Amino acid sequence: MKNKAGYWIDRLDLQPHPEGGYYREIFRSHAEVHRDHESELRSACTSIYYLLEGNDFSGFHRLKSDELWYFHVGQPIIIHVLDTDGSYKCIELSDSETGSLQAFIEPDCWFAAEVSSKSDFALVSCAVAPGFDFSEFEMATKSSLTSVYPAQKNLIEKLCRF
């Protein structure tokens, strides 16, 4: 049963996420911090469980904060990153020899994720510092992202929701 997405969705009480997949926030720090050149206080760190299954994907989006991804169970998850300098990198998050158990996404980079096997699932955790806030969550549009990253047009068409 632990090798089924439904088991983890039920066990962890995961809910649909606006970018795709399922999630549940499990930690929001009571400590608060300021970003450089900003006056607003933010939670120092937040953490969620995040699950993708089958053909679902995390659509291209970006945050103003650092984000760390941690692999738990399931199939490899592929994270596609479009860096602020225009470069592309692909990170395999998995417990296989070709993967890494954790990945770091820099602030302001566009990124998307998908399960390598479209017939299975992946369960990960994501930690964001300073903490995640939906007001800083920006979903990409196919047209705007393609104009900046034309070499990645096919990937953007596949993993952009709008």
60-105: pLDDT as tens digits: 999 999 999 999 999 999 999 999 999 999 999 999 999 999 999 9
Strands 66-74 and 121-129 turn out to be antiparallel
Percent helix, percent strand, percent coil in the chain, to nearest 5: 15, 45, 40
Tell me what the pLDDT averaged over the chain comes to: 95
Answer yes or no: is pLDDT of 1 > 80. Answer: no
Domains present along the chain, CATH in parentheses? 5-159 (2.60.120.10)
Residue closest to 149 by CA, chosen among 84, 105, 103: 84
Q: pLDDT above 90 covers what percent of the chain?
A: 87
126-150: pLDDT as tens digits: 999 999 998 899 999 999 999 999 9
Asked if 101 and 70 touch (Cβ cutoff 8 Å), the reply is yes
Distance CA 130, CA 46 (A): 8
Distance CA 114, CA 143 (A): 21
